[in-house]
Amino acid sequence: MVILREFLITQITPTIFTANSNIKIQLIEGTPRESEARLLSHQIDVYLGQTPATLNQQLTIYPNGQENYYLVIPSTSEFFQPNHFILDPTTVDLKQLFQAPLILTTSESAIRQQINSLLQAYKIVPNIVLTTNNIITATNLAVHGMGLTVSAASILKRLPPTPLNLIPLDATKVQLKYFLALNPQATITPELQALVKQFQALDLATQIH
């Protein structure tokens, strides 16, 4: 499951190798549920992800960084406002916008689970025209006019200059928080301790102005 692994891995892996050149890393990708199950069953040593509030509380969790989600409106949309970038959410009808054609990640993703909670809170029945397991794909498809989407600051900041509107979503309802999780029943080696320390030292708070 490709969610934000590119961002996390590119942030943390070079730092780990610089500080610990003797360790070997094998990347195993999966949905949040799959990754959690692998960690609990000792198939993996560490789980890097987002939205720690949904994790099994048996795990030892190290949170770090957070960023906002934005509703992305491409220039081809009838709701696009020229000469504006970030729109005030109090000046738009979110219910109407979420009923426009949407491109979202699949239901197994941590991002989609938060979006579903937001939709339920606003009592919105979404018009989902396409799902993908990759938030970057969803963002690029939206930018190219296939519909609206919800994306994160770390993804949006990597886009080339593009005319679009961003509406910040209520951070009390949806917000991306990164974490590193360990199984407390596993042996915590010096290498794992070093990994935790490196992760906690990273600046993972991404903002858009």
Let me know the angle formed at the C-alpha of 164 by 68 and 150, rounded to the nearest 5 degrees. 35
Which of 93, 68, 101 lies closest to 209, judged by CA?
68
- Structure tokens given for 50: 């987002």
For residue 18, name the pLDDT band (cuts at 50, 70, 90).
low
* Residues 82-139: tens digit of each pLDDT: 999 999 999 999 999 999 999 999 988 888 888 998 898 888 889 999 999 888 899 9
Calculate mean pLDDT across residues 41-59.
Answer: 89
51, 150 contact by CB (below 8 A): no
pLDDT at residue 21 in the model = 63
For residue 208, name the pLDDT band (cuts at 50, 70, 90).
confident
142 burial class (0-12, 13-18, 19+ CB within 10 angstroms)? buried
Domains, the chain, in order of start with CATH, read: 5-66+175-201 (3.40.190.10), 69-168 (3.40.190.290)
The angle, 0 to 180 degrees and rounded to 10, between the axes of the packed helices 190-201 and 5-19 is 120
β-strand pairing of 101-105 with 148-152? parallel
Which of 141, 153, 107 lies closest to 126, judged by CA?
107
* Residues 135-187: tens digit of each pLDDT: 889 999 999 999 999 998 888 988 888 999 999 998 888 888 889 999 999 99
Chain Cα centroid distance, residue 164:
20
167, 118 contact by CB (below 8 A): no
Which of 177, 178, 186, 179 lies closest to 44, judged by CA?
186
pTM above 0.95, yes or no: no
